[in-house]
Amino acid sequence: MTYVRYIDKTRDYYLREGYDKPYRWAHFEDAPFAALKMPLADSRLALISTSEIARRSDADQRTPLEKGELGNVYTIPSDTPLADLYSHSLSFDKHATSLDDVNAFFPITPLQEKVAEGRIGSLAPNAIALFNAYSQRRTREVDAPEVLALCRADAVDVALLVPV
């Protein structure tokens, strides 16, 4: 079976649900491309996630919504023990899968293995996370530049982005 057309499916779904205006997904004709500057084995990689990844050990366990946050960028130390990580997100196909295994959406363990094998030079000390802003302008003008600044501060060479 071919892959799911989510743009068509969600448009039909939300029209049936009574929403009048279909969401306009971001669209560009061109796409920027940066070539690798050095072998991956010498590169520092940052993991970037929209999975609402959180730490159980944090004092503040409110969801992003409870904190009044949309589109905020934050970091999670890459050496956080796996058992300390979880996701607040309710935005996944709960009929077909779960968020019970962090590595199925925030692949920190396989990345650490790739560093140990020498496939990647190193992991950035921080993984970068951001919440869905529901505003493409906000993502382009505020959040994306903030992610870039965090990458530069950690001397990141390449990035692996995993949306949820």
Partner 1 sequence: MSLVARHLEANGIPTVVIANARDIVEHCGVARLYFTDFPLGSPLGEPFDADMQRRVVAGALDLLESATGPRTTVEAPDKWSQGEAWKAKVFSADQPWKEKGGQAEKEWLEKKELYRKLKEEGKL
Residue of 21, 95, 116, 118 that binds partner 1 (CB under 8 A): 95
Establish if 21 lies at the interface with partner 1 (CB under 8 A): no
Distances (CA, A) of 32 to 29, 38, 128: 10, 19, 21
Establish if 103 lies at the interface with partner 1 (CB under 8 A): yes
Residue of 77, 81, 109, 153 that binds partner 1 (CB under 8 A): 109
Closest CA to 131 of 46, 51, 59: 51
Euclidean distance between CA atoms 33 and 85, whole angstroms: 32
> 75 in helix, strand or coil?
strand
Residue of 33, 60, 83, 118 that binds partner 1 (CB under 8 A): 33
Establish if 35 lies at the interface with partner 1 (CB under 8 A): yes
Residue of 18, 20, 21, 31 that binds partner 1 (CB under 8 A): 31
Establish if 127 lies at the interface with partner 1 (CB under 8 A): no
Establish if 60 lies at the interface with partner 1 (CB under 8 A): no
Locate 145 and state its tokens.
């530049």
Residue pointed to by tokens 């709960």: 94
Euclidean distance between CA atoms 144 and 147, whole angstroms: 5
- Closest separation in Å from C-beta 128 to partner 1: 9
- Closest separation in Å from C-beta 137 to partner 1: 8
